[in-house]
């Protein structure tokens, strides 16, 4: 019976990983079709460098500090949140679904079809952050609190929900940011309630999502100051978008 349970958990883990890679490949194909004629390699390099600009380094610094603090509180938070002590299973299920990647991929596909400028940048954030998280999972091999499965660090659910929230905030402002970030927080807390992650896993996932969720916008969108001289002097800005 124990062997059967472990096999089912292993199969469930593989299904989850396959889903992530399938989503990533699907979005990459769609975004690439919009970028025909551009250098995809240079495109990818620009996205990565955009993640670590001045603003990105601030996000990384705050996230790293928060993760370091969380490591010392992992067991305390785990004991307080596990087994749905502070969140019902129904609420946790909502957070888990939101972080499953299905809503985020749906949003990205909708943007690629109806708002390609923001869609390409959002897609880059989802793909780059997902690839980084999966790489960290397999390199750190941290056991989950509920099993010996060694894919705990960081939380992929939290990462993809925060990547989507950040790209939506950059695309459509605070009206999109408030509900999407609230759902991202719900997702992170649901992973604690389900005993699937440590607090430090969740914080790192959120940091990576926020870091790369804005990365594509740094090289696609350019904001330039404009000064108009005439009878009156007018100051303003012009935003341009390019592949």
Cβ-proximal residues to 155 (8 Å cutoff; 6+ apart), any chain = 99, 188, 191, 196, 197, 201, 202, 204, 205, 206
pLDDT digits (tens, 9 = 90+) for 114-137: 898 888 888 888 988 999 999 999
pTM here is 0.81
> Token pair 């990365």 is at which residue?
215
How many domains are contained in the chain?
A: 1
Banded pLDDT at 30 (limits 50, 70, 90): low
- For the segment 51-59, the average pLDDT, to the nearest whole number, is 91
Cβ-proximal residues to 36 (8 Å cutoff; 6+ apart), any chain = none
Instruction: Tell me which residue range forms the domain holding 23.
Output: 2-241
Banded pLDDT at 238 (limits 50, 70, 90): very low
* Residue 72 token pair: 């010392």
**CA distances (Å), origin 214, targets 47, 55, 101, 134, 137:** 9, 10, 18, 19, 22
Q: What is the CATH number of the domain that holds 102?
A: 1.20.144
The predicted pLDDT at position 88 comes to 95
The predicted pLDDT at position 2 comes to 46
Mean pLDDT rounded to a whole number for the chain: 82
pLDDT over 80 at 95, yes or no:
yes
* Residue 94 token pair: 């909502």
Handedness of CA 10, 15, 16, 20 (dihedral sign): positive
The predicted pLDDT at position 121 comes to 86
pLDDT over 50 at 49, yes or no:
yes
* Residue 176 token pair: 């999109």
């Amino acid at each position: 019976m124990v062997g059967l349970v472990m096999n089912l958990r292993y199969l469930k883990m593989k299904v989850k990983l396959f889903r992530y890679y399938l989503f990533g490949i699907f979005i990459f194909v769609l975004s690439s079709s919009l970028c025909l004629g551009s250098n995809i390699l240079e495109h990818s390099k620009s996205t990565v460098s955009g993640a670590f600009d001045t603003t990105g380094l601030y996000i990384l610094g705050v996230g790293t500090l928060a993760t370091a603090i969380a490591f010392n509180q992992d067991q305390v938070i785990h004991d307080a949140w596990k087994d749905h002590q502070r969140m019902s299973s129904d609420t946790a299920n909502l957070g888990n679904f939101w972080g499953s990647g299905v809503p985020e991929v749906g949003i990205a596909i909708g943007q690629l079809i109806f708002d390609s400028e923001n869609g390409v940048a959002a897609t880059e954030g989802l793909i780059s952050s997902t690839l980084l998280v999966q790489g960290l999972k397999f390199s750190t091999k941290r056991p989950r609190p509920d099993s010996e499965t060694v894919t705990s660090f960081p939380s992929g659910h939290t990462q993809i929900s925060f990547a989507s929230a950040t790209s939506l905030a950059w695309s459509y402002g605070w009206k999109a940011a408030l509900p999407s970030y609230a759902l991202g927080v719900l997702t992170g807390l649901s992973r604690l309630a389900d005993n699937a992650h440590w607090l430090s896993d969740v914080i790192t996932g959120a940091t990576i999502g926020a870091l790369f969720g804005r990365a594509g916008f740094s090289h696609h969108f350019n904001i330039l100051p404009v000064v108009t001289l005439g009878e009156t002097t007018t100051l303003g800005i012009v935003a341009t978008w390019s592949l």
